Amino acid sequence: MTAIAARPLYLRRFPGRTTLVVGLTVVGLMLLAALAAPLIAPYDPVFQDGTARLVAPSAAHPFGTDNFGRDVFSRVIWAARVDLQIAFLGVVFPLVIGTTIGTVAGYFGGVVDAVFMRIVDVVLAFPYLVLIIAIIAILGPGLKSFYIALALVGWVSYARLIRSQILILKSADFVLAARSLGYSHSRIMFRHLLPNALISSIVFAMSDMVLVLLGGASISFLGLGVQPPTAEWGIMVAEGQGFITQALWMTMFPGLAILLLSFGFSLIADGLGEWLGVKE
């Protein structure tokens, strides 16, 4: 038995392993491509070659070129930097804010809990994307507005999730044990309750990355997020929309990139969930 336990995780079999490995590979490769963009991308993503507009995919331009003569392959690779950033930052802010609020509300209960949960109800009453679009409309288009809007809106799911976990754990035996040892509130909360409750919200965060990525790309597609000429998958699809009958490659490849990255995130979320026994 000890021999099995001593084996590193990546050698061990556990439920969801294949799913997790495939997911990590997909996301890892895309992350690598994004980091190594200057090395991999054959062209500058904003370089306009006036002599090579709307060129179909070929050896020189694997994904073709757009109406400005920019290389679509290079733009797709450079865009990975922006879209990965959207997925990560778009989840981190809500995760941190929501976790803090959910923990405090769940642990103290009473008025604090009631107030926060009413706010959660109201925010959830708004369609997610509509509220984000409305906030961006006020703050002005751009990625910064998108992050602020997400932070204002996205925390509610995490707060609700963490709160429900805390409520279950609060009655668990080891909390009573910690209390009887005279530990302070914040110590019990952050050292004992949170690590247990966090597992399910980490799994949720992985599937949330899919939502945030699609949301960010949608916002950019609508013209409210990333602004041209920056390469970003959503905006690339929007730019290709007008040339869809002549140059399908302009829309097809950035869309496939979003699909692939979301697929990777979903697999990681599924694999983690299966491994850690977290139900959605």
Partner 1 sequence: MHRYRFVLLRPLQFLPVLFGISVITFVLVRLIPGDPARMLLGTRATASALERIRAQYGLDESIWVQYLYFLKNLFAGEMGKSIVFKTDVLKLIGTRIEPTLVLVIGSVALAILIAVPMATIAARNRGRIPDQVVRVVSTLGLGTPPFWLALMLMIVFSVKLDLLPVSGYGRTLPEKAAHMVLPCLTIALSLSAVLTRSLRASLIAQITSDQATAARARGLSEGTVFWRHVMPNAIVPTLNLLAVNVGWLIGGTVIVESVFAIPGMGQLLIRGIFSRDYMVVQGVAMCFAVATVLVNFLADILTVAADPRVKL
Using CB under 8 A as the criterion, which residues of the chain lie in contact with partner 1 when the complex forms? 118-119, 121-131, 133-138, 210-211, 214-215, 217-218, 221-224, 234, 237-238, 241, 244-245, 248, 251-252, 254-255, 258-263, 265-267, 270, 279-280
Alpha carbons 30 and 135: distance in angstroms, whole number: 30
Q: Which amino acid is at 172?
A: A
**65 beta partners:** 71
Task: State the minimum distance, in angstroms, from the CB of residue 161 to partner 1.
Answer: 13
Alpha carbons 49 and 64: distance in angstroms, whole number: 12
Task: State the minimum distance, in angstroms, from the CB of residue 101 to partner 1.
Answer: 16
Q: Which residues contact 123 (CB under 8 A, 6 or more apart)?
A: 131, 153, 156
Which CB atom, from 162 or from 257, has the smaller least distance to partner 1? Answer: 257
Which CB atom, from 8 or from 140, has the smaller least distance to partner 1? Answer: 140
Task: State the minimum distance, in angstroms, from the CB of residue 212 to partner 1.
Answer: 12
Task: State the minimum distance, in angstroms, from the CB of residue 105 to partner 1.
Answer: 16
Provide the token pair at 95. 């995760």
Give CA separation, 107 vs 85, 120, 167, 245, in Å: 32, 16, 7, 57
3-class DSSP assignment, residue 71 = strand
Which CB atom, from 48 or from 67, has the smaller least distance to partner 1? Answer: 67
Which CB atom, from 146 or from 221, has the smaller least distance to partner 1? Answer: 221
Which CB atom, from 168 or from 259, has the smaller least distance to partner 1? Answer: 259
> Are the C-beta atoms of residues 158 and 95 closer than 8 Å to each other?
yes
If you search the block for the tokens 């922006």, which residue do you land on?
82
Task: State the minimum distance, in angstroms, from the CB of residue 124 to partner 1.
Answer: 7
Which CB atom, from 25 or from 186, has the smaller least distance to partner 1? Answer: 25
Kind and range of the H or E run holding 238: helix 233-241
Task: State the minimum distance, in angstroms, from the CB of residue 224 to partner 1.
Answer: 7
